[in-house]
């Protein structure tokens, strides 16, 4: 029995500053039926407060506690310690709020999130710290980001550079790894089979659900298409064109 919906954001709930048609109504229906709705995002460069405000601005019901970012998940996963980070301020803030201490000297962790201001100095510092024994953490492995200009390097590209310079692979917090999903389940106090993970990417969202043992619904509003599905050995439980179809499957079946 489904008790909670885990909703991806980019490409699933919104495109840029525009809500995906039907998303707001779907969230209202989920809540009216007494189900939890948790927005789970690989983004580490936006705070839960910012994400919540953005969703409310699209008429999508949300409170701050309804958002789980990869930065928050990293803060919850890591044992208390000192960290050096590459990324934007929301990543550092989430780690500090989670009880961790920023430092540039002998950190326990080097935590790497998307950073549009990445430079050689940051990469060199992170490389030296990882080689000196700091644990290498990646908020998410997204290799590219889609912008109005096209695809640009994402956090995965930064992680690849550090892997090349250190010989170390990062521990990944976000999708498609299961850590962020496990944290979401603990927050909601449910078992994997009581959740449904809804997302637009086979390789990110569906794979994350598969890795965590959570049923998935692929919604064809973003990255993946039916042709991609035909060429994939990874299959979701449901495939829907839009939120109207998803709502009917959940509540009318």
pLDDT grade for 253, boundaries at 50, 70 and 90: low
Please choose, from the candidates 48, 47, 52, 59, the residue with its C-alpha nearest in 3D space to the C-alpha of residue 18.
Answer: 59
Contact (Cβ atoms closer than 8 angstroms) between residue 215 and residue 237? yes
How much is the pTM? 0.95
H/E element, 215: none
| Catalytic site includes residue 10 | yes
3-class DSSP state of 157: helix
The string of pLDDT tens digits covering residues 190-220 is 999 999 999 999 999 999 999 999 999 999 9
Selected catalytic residue, list 10, 36, 142, 205: 10
Query: Can you tell me the distance from the alpha carbon of 78 to that of 153, in angstroms, rounded to the nearest whole number?
Result: 26
What pLDDT was estimated at residue 40?
98
| Residue 204: DSSP 8-state | I
The string of pLDDT tens digits covering residues 53-109 is 999 999 999 999 999 999 999 999 999 999 999 999 999 999 999 999 999 999 999
- Give the other-Cβ count within 10 Å of 192's Cβ: 15
Dihedral of CA atoms 141, 147, 149, 154 in degrees, nearest 10, equals -20
Task: Give the count of alpha carbons within 13 A of 246, CB side only.
Answer: 31
Selected catalytic residue, list 8, 36, 115, 200: 8
Contact (Cβ atoms closer than 8 angstroms) between residue 237 and residue 210? no
H/E element, 33: none
The residues that bridge with 15 in the sheet, in sequence order, are: 18
What pLDDT was estimated at residue 16?
85
The string of pLDDT tens digits covering residues 219-241 is 999 889 999 999 999 999 999 99
The tokens of 148 are what?
């109005």
- Distances from the Cα of 251 to the Cα of 1, 30, 189, 221, 247, angstroms: 11, 9, 22, 20, 6
DSSP 64-118: GGGEEEHHHHHHHHSPS-EEEEES-HHHHHHHHHTT-EE-SSS-SEEEE---TT-
pLDDT grade for 21, boundaries at 50, 70 and 90: very high
- What residue ranges define each of the domains in the chain, with the CATH number in brackets? 4-42+175-252 (3.40.50.1000), 78-172 (3.40.50.1000)
Contact (Cβ atoms closer than 8 angstroms) between residue 109 and residue 137? yes
* Alpha helix segments (H runs only) across the chain: 23-32, 48-57, 70-77, 89-97, 120-131, 155-166, 179-188, 207-212, 226-230, 243-252
| Catalytic site includes residue 8 | yes
Contact (Cβ atoms closer than 8 angstroms) between residue 9 and residue 60? no
């Amino acid at each position: 029995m489904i008790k909670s919906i885990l909703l991806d954001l980019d490409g699933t709930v919104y495109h840029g500053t525009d809500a995906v048609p039907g998303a707001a109504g779907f969230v209202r229906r989920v809540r009216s039926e007494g189900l939890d709705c948790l927005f789970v995002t690989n983004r580490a460069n936006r705070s839960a407060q910012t994400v919540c405000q953005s969703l409310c601005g699209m008429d999508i019901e949300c409170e701050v506690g309804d958002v789980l970012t990869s930065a928050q998940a990293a803060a919850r996963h890591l044992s208390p310690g000192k960290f050096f980070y590459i990324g934007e301020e929301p990543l550092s803030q989430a780690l500090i709020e989670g009880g961790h201490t920023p430092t540039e000297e002998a950190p326990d962790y080097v935590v790497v999130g998307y950073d549009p201001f990445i430079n050689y100095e940051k990469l060199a510092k992170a490389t030296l710290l990882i080689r000196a024994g700091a644990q290498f953490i990646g908020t998410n492995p997204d290799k590219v980001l889609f912008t109005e200009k096209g695809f640009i390097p994402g956090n995965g590209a930064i992680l690849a550079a550090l892997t090349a310079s250190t010989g170390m692979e990062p521990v990944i917090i976000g999708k498609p790894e299961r850590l962020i999903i496990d944290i979401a389940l603990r927050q909601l106090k449910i078992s994997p089979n009581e959740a449904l993970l809804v997302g637009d990417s086979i390789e990110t969202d569906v794979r994350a659900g598969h890795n965590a043992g959570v049923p998935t619904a692929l919604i064809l509003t973003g990255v993946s298409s039916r042709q991609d599905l035909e060429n994939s050995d990874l299959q979701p439980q449901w495939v829907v064109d839009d939120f109207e179809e998803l709502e009917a499957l959940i509540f009318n079946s």
